[in-house]
Structure 1
Amino acid sequence: MANSRGMTKLFSSLACFDYHKQNVDIYSFYINSMVTSRYATTVITSRVANTLNESQEIQFEVKIPKNAFISKFRMTIEGKTYDGVVKEKEEAQQLYNQAVSRGQSAGQIKSVGRTLEDFKTSVTVAAFSKVTFELTYEELLKRRLGKYELLINAQPMQPVADFKMDVHIQEKPGISSLEVKGDLSTGDLANAIKTTRADKDAWVTLYPTQDQQTKCKSCGENGLNGDLLVTYDVERRNPKGEVMVSNGYFVHYFAPSDVPRIPKNVVFIIDRSGSMHGRKIEQTRLALLRILSDLDEDDHFGLITFDSEVNLWKRELLKATEANLKNAKSFVNEITDRGATDINAAVLAGVDMINRHPREGTASILILLTDGDPTSGETNIEKIMANVKKAIGTKFPLYCLGFGYDVNFDFLTKMSLENGGVARRIYEDSDADLQLQGFYEEVAVPLLTDIQLKYPVGTNLTKTSFSLYFNGSEIVVSGQITDNSWVMGESVTYQDTIMTKDPSDVPPENEDFMQRLWAYLTVKQLLERQ
């Protein structure tokens, strides 16, 4: 198993080849995605013929979601199959460079945008011979704003005579909503999409003709080029969640919606250093104005701006009254860029603001937005993380938003994970303000705090403690189990939770998905702690 960011796939030559030439024929391109209880396994199979009377390099390039990992890659040439192997990132990079220098085949994964990473490899194919590339990747679909998203990219680089995309979603509680979006659902290509729904299953197929492959929003003479986005949600008949058991493993999906929202205390820490000049600061102001308008009246909030100095709008958290919001928006409109970047002092000021104004029955959130490295005050990253972790003391989460590519995103990721939050990159684009607002919407409605999920007879559990649960999200816990006794939080028993012990509840071809889901979560969480 390989994480697509942390590890690299190695095979036996990387060279570039232009599929626009007529001496390569992609005569078949299949994408098959099977989603079982939110766990997606996608197989891409490309069959290519060398139509030249001499050998040449043929390239295989696909884009996969950033949260996915490649579980299998193989090439079949003249009846012989070559399987890929997995190496740690540093070793893989070294072996990749050596393979390229020797003219051998090698494959590598690179980030190519907001949501996708690029996998590319190539192989020498003899005259008038064929090669089959088969890549399998897996991912656990994450619930955001009440929807799961399955993103599939297709860009074969030429119209394909036999192109098929099949998606099968299987959810035991039942599927409550389903929608197909993305560039590959636009134009004449939309007529090639077929959607079928049953109680617990949904099927989406895309079987376009070669002519249709040139007629979508992002398509052209080179054929398909874009994403198909399938969004869906499941029925939630049991507020205690859904538990499934198969082959000695269990998974618990917990997404209650029948609890009242909790008033929040939120402090926004905004980088106003010189590097935020221009569109960045303008979009930040615009996003903050919208976010302030979305605060509920029983929320409390604070605003901190920083460069080499830390500037507090008010020293204390204020209630989100109409008058306070009006004054806050005036403050936001006056934010300008200047100076260096003292992240340490700014974050500690935000922590202090929340600590000095505790409110019972509320959820506290700290949100940092920055576009660069610490360049003023304490600049040692390890010391900054230690200071922040000690100050927060697991009492509330820190969310870090990194603006652009110059930011030290690894630092922000580690600091947020150490403090119960997550990091999100904000891409420098025309919709950066909407990206900021979209992130806030995911954490805007806290429903539960300090969630402790207990499984007395469970072993080898994935993460079971969560600082906050937000409306529209989902908590997922997996592990091994020998009994059906379940306890959560304050001795709330889960004896009546949906249980699935009968193997017939899980289709034979998907019986191992739960073990793979457990492994996926385990590896992902281990990597996050590194």
Structure 2
Amino acid sequence: MLASIQIGAASPVAEYLKLSTDVNNGYAITTVEEKLSNPAETAVEDKFSFLIPEEAFISGFTLIIDGKEYRAGVLPKKEASERFESAASEGRTAGLLETKDENLFAYALSFEPGQSIIVKLTYEQALKKTLGEYELVQFLESSRSVANFSVTINVNSANQLIRLETPAFPEAEVEYLSSNRGQVHYKADSLPISELRVVFETANPPLNGNMLFYENEGQGYMMHIFSPSEEDLGTSAMSKEIIFVLDKSGSMQGYKLEQVKDAFGNIIEDLPPGDYFNIIFFDSSIQSYSGTLMEANEEQKTGALDFVNNLEANGGTNINEALLTALGMFNPESGRVPIIVFLTDGEPTEGVVSPYAIRQNIKDANTAHVSIFSIAFGIEDENNYSFLRAMSLENNGTAERFAPDDNASEEIGSFYKTISTPLITDMDFSYSNGLSELVNTGEKNLFEGSDAIVLGKYSSETGKIQADVSASTRTGARIFSKEFTVSPKGENAFIPRLWAYTTIESLLDRIEVEGENEPLVSAVTDLALEYKFVTPYTSLFVEVPEFSSPGAEDGEETVPEMPAGEPATKNERAAPLSSQIQPSSDSRYESNMEIEEPVEGEVAEKVAEESTPGFGALFTFSGLTGIAYLLHRRQR
């Protein structure tokens, strides 16, 4: 979870580490707070790193030094970088936090003898409901010992909280506070060696959904939660047509291919009657189990398993031909839900190899509106993963990464379960006049145990909102209608941030598909600045004042104006909240650490000697006058 990379012989001591999470209807806000002290009689420097969840946006970073709190401000990325460079070149102490290719947050601190520093980091994310439950994981492993460690997780839901538990972690205490609120506590005098996994389940909203409201300064925000179950619908899940398109090129040889055979062997065995399926393996050429989709009866499933188990890996990677072959097998008039599960471990090397040409070919050929779910199996190249993700997004699907380790087969199987049971397709949400800037968290299909959430704005003068959801179910077309009375509540204050978070995520998805353009980038930047999120187009910048300067009276502080990094007021301080933190090895932290180049010359040397304790030069002997605080965020 948290690692230290020592710079000097001594190392600061962690007096306490607090993780706290507030989850409101699936939206989690996290604060990690740690107090670090230097018990030595000499100054020491240290670097610290930990991972944040892939889908999280950092929304706050604060240092408390000698009782004064300094909070970073969010600026456009270019402006933040320019201000950091200016501060560093002029010998002022400053910090910069920006997005990179990994979801790693890293910072460095210097400590005077006996000095203590408190560090706070806040980030936010939307948890996804899958298979009827939410999961929150706290990885508690660390290379640094902590004498006082605590975790607090608050769960609040508009619907009844049915279950809240911490599987395989009996030391944690679970407390139910009301019918829709619960809390998890954990305290220890050291960090545990296992993860804390919190699982909770809430009751489904009524058939036509719930609608929550919040108003602030004349602006209203709504949240429509739509999540019917088979029981609510009075019918079973829809049958599907599914084709598994699987890479067996030379790079899949050995353990990778064995994991794929194991995972998809289990998936094929579990296909329900009424589904139609096929399997396509590809390398330089294409090998199909059948020339057409086959009914999922025992005879066909047995034949498919033999086909899978007898294949060997070799050759190149012809992604274009494999997917076009699969798309040509679907019948748009079948009435079944069309799905492709596509797995590859590399970039295209045979046939059409341009990612843009492949995407265009697939989009043009997808006349049956097939949802393509991509599995990036051991892919580390960001450009290759971006290609798979963009292709899936523009074909009604998503992309997920999986490492080819011992758990790969089980993890792929778990992912498949989330898309294996379609309840509703072709969803379309419409609302009465007065709503604006709507954003939908769901796709066109709703799978068993998941939900679709629509967020938007309304005028505070609005009294009622009519919601209509048209969709297809196993029994045919249906419309789910309800008129909701607007009733704003203070407990729904999270909705504006969830709306902004979801809107930014949607815009970033569009950038993934369409490429960067000025309107989309400006929209992301404007929202991120308003709601103080760190994104690929915004950064956190903080400048810490010097506490003495030539010409100041004895004992008098001289504090320069700091538009983005001034000490936070009491009302501005980040509230302690939380979500999930991922572990990582020390070697990875060190390899991803980036520090600004030293400023050369006499001015730099002088500033290094006089820099503010705790947030000054990282390497005083080299004259470094600024510290870069870097968030490495995994590309979606």
Report TM bin, short chain: 0.7 to 0.9
Query: In the alignment, which residue of structure 2 is the partner of 1:253?
Result: 225
Distance 1:179 1:17, change over 3 A: same
Counterpart pick for 2:369 among 378, 388, 395: 395
- Indicate yes or no: 2:211 matched with 1:240: no
Displacement after TM superposition at 1:54 (Å): 2.5
Distance 1:19 1:478, change over 3 A: farther
Taking the TM superposition and a 5 Å limit, the aligned residue runs for 1:206-355 are 206-208=186-188, 210=189, 213=190, 223-247=191-215, 248-257=220-229, 258-259=232-233, 260-354=236-330
Query: In the alignment, which residue of structure 2 is the partner of 1:360?
Result: 334
User: Contact 2:440 / 2:452 at 8 angstroms: preserved in 1?
Assistant: no
Alpha-carbon distance between aligned partners in 1 of 2:111 and 2:256, rounded to the nearest angstrom: 48
Query: In the alignment, which residue of structure 1 is the partner of 2:155?
Result: 169
Query: In the alignment, which residue of structure 1 is the partner of 2:106?
Result: 120
- Indicate yes or no: 2:358 matched with 1:377: no
What SS class does the counterpart of residue 440 from structure 2 fall into? coil
Alpha-carbon distance between aligned partners in 1 of 2:80 and 2:193, rounded to the nearest angstrom: 29
User: Contact 1:298 / 1:319 at 8 angstroms: preserved in 2?
Assistant: yes
Distance 1:413 1:95, change over 3 A: farther
Alpha-carbon distance between aligned partners in 1 of 2:243 and 2:467, rounded to the nearest angstrom: 36
Farther off after superposition, 32-41 or 83-92: 83-92
Unaligned runs of 5+ in 1: 1-14, 214-222
User: Contact 1:285 / 1:335 at 8 angstroms: preserved in 2?
Assistant: no
User: Contact 1:453 / 1:465 at 8 angstroms: preserved in 2?
Assistant: no
Query: In the alignment, which residue of structure 1 is the partner of 2:544?
Result: none
Alpha-carbon distance between aligned partners in 2 of 1:175 and 1:243, rounded to the nearest angstrom: 17
Alpha-carbon distance between aligned partners in 2 of 1:445 and 1:63, rounded to the nearest angstrom: 33
Query: In the alignment, which residue of structure 1 is the partner of 2:178?
Result: 198
Distance 1:59 1:392, change over 3 A: same
- Indicate yes or no: 2:36 matched with 1:64: no
Of all paired residues, the percent bearing the same amino acid is 30
Query: In the alignment, which residue of structure 1 is the partner of 2:416?
Result: 440
**Partner letter of residue 329 of structure 2?**
M
What SS class does the counterpart of residue 340 from structure 2 fall into? strand
Displacement after TM superposition at 1:97 (Å): 10
Distance 1:493 1:442, change over 3 A: closer
Taking the TM superposition and a 5 Å limit, the aligned residue runs for 1:129-144 are 129-144=115-130
Query: In the alignment, which residue of structure 1 is the partner of 2:504?
Result: 523
Displacement after TM superposition at 1:225 (Å): 4.9
**Partner letter of residue 457 of structure 2?**
Q
TM-score (norm 2): 0.71
What SS class does the counterpart of residue 323 from structure 1 fall into? helix
Counterpart pick for 1:495 among 482, 499, 504: 482
C-alpha distance after superposition, 1:113-172 (max 9, x if no partner): xxxx33110122222111110111111110111111122333454443332211111112
Displacement after TM superposition at 1:110 (Å): 6.5
**Partner letter of residue 436 of structure 1?**
I
Displacement after TM superposition at 1:495 (Å): 2.8
Alpha-carbon distance between aligned partners in 1 of 2:325 and 2:227, rounded to the nearest angstrom: 33
Alpha-carbon distance between aligned partners in 2 of 1:29 and 1:126, rounded to the nearest angstrom: 21
Alpha-carbon distance between aligned partners in 2 of 1:19 and 1:454, rounded to the nearest angstrom: 58
Query: In the alignment, which residue of structure 1 is the partner of 2:449?
Result: 472
C-alpha distance after superposition, 1:340-383 (max 9, x if no partner): 111011101111011xx345331010111111100000011111
What SS class does the counterpart of residue 501 from structure 1 fall into? coil
Alpha-carbon distance between aligned partners in 2 of 1:63 and 1:413, rounded to the nearest angstrom: 22
- Indicate yes or no: 2:24 matched with 1:47: no
Distance 1:453 1:282, change over 3 A: same
C-alpha distance after superposition, 1:4-24 (max 9, x if no partner): xxxxxxxxxxx9643997642
Farther off after superposition, 22-31 or 255-264: 22-31
What SS class does the counterpart of residue 435 from structure 1 fall into? helix
Distance 1:297 1:192, change over 3 A: closer
**Partner letter of residue 252 of structure 1?**
H
Bigger relative contact order (CA 8 A; separation at least 6):
2
User: Contact 2:280 / 2:287 at 8 angstroms: preserved in 1?
Assistant: yes
Distance 1:100 1:318, change over 3 A: farther
Alpha-carbon distance between aligned partners in 1 of 2:166 and 2:486, rounded to the nearest angstrom: 30
TM-score (norm 1): 0.85
Farther off after superposition, 382-391 or 233-242: 233-242
Displacement after TM superposition at 1:441 (Å): 0.8
Query: In the alignment, which residue of structure 1 is the partner of 2:68?
Result: 80
Distance 1:488 1:134, change over 3 A: same
Displacement after TM superposition at 1:493 (Å): 5.5
What SS class does the counterpart of residue 289 from structure 1 fall into? helix
Displacement after TM superposition at 1:485 (Å): 1.7
Distance 1:428 1:140, change over 3 A: same
Alpha-carbon distance between aligned partners in 1 of 2:117 and 2:197, rounded to the nearest angstrom: 29
C-alpha distance after superposition, 1:397-419 (max 9, x if no partner): 11111110356211101100011
Displacement after TM superposition at 1:429 (Å): 0.3
Distance 1:226 1:397, change over 3 A: same
User: Contact 1:453 / 1:464 at 8 angstroms: preserved in 2?
Assistant: no
Alpha-carbon distance between aligned partners in 2 of 1:237 and 1:463, rounded to the nearest angstrom: 17
Alpha-carbon distance between aligned partners in 2 of 1:390 and 1:463, rounded to the nearest angstrom: 25
Asked which structure has the greater CA Rg, the reply is 2
Distance 1:250 1:361, change over 3 A: same
Aligned length: 486
Query: In the alignment, which residue of structure 1 is the partner of 2:18?
Result: 30
Alpha-carbon distance between aligned partners in 1 of 2:504 and 2:407, rounded to the nearest angstrom: 33
Farther off after superposition, 269-278 or 463-472: 463-472
Query: In the alignment, which residue of structure 2 is the partner of 1:461?
Result: 438
Distance 1:471 1:207, change over 3 A: same
C-alpha distance after superposition, 1:52-110 (max 9, x if no partner): 22322233433321111111011111233332344677998999999999997555666
Distance 1:94 1:383, change over 3 A: farther
Distance 1:180 1:109, change over 3 A: farther
User: Contact 1:306 / 1:346 at 8 angstroms: preserved in 2?
Assistant: yes
Displacement after TM superposition at 1:450 (Å): 0.6
C-alpha distance after superposition, 1:203-246 (max 9, x if no partner): 101111x2xx3xxxxxxxxx345532211111125122221111
Farther off after superposition, 154-163 or 41-50: 154-163
User: Contact 2:318 / 2:350 at 8 angstroms: preserved in 1?
Assistant: yes
- Indicate yes or no: 2:417 matched with 1:430: no
Alpha-carbon distance between aligned partners in 1 of 2:391 and 2:482, rounded to the nearest angstrom: 38
Alpha-carbon distance between aligned partners in 2 of 1:94 and 1:304, rounded to the nearest angstrom: 52
User: Contact 2:292 / 2:329 at 8 angstroms: preserved in 1?
Assistant: yes
- Indicate yes or no: 2:387 matched with 1:411: yes
User: Contact 2:27 / 2:125 at 8 angstroms: preserved in 1?
Assistant: yes
User: Contact 1:62 / 1:154 at 8 angstroms: preserved in 2?
Assistant: no
User: Contact 1:454 / 1:464 at 8 angstroms: preserved in 2?
Assistant: no
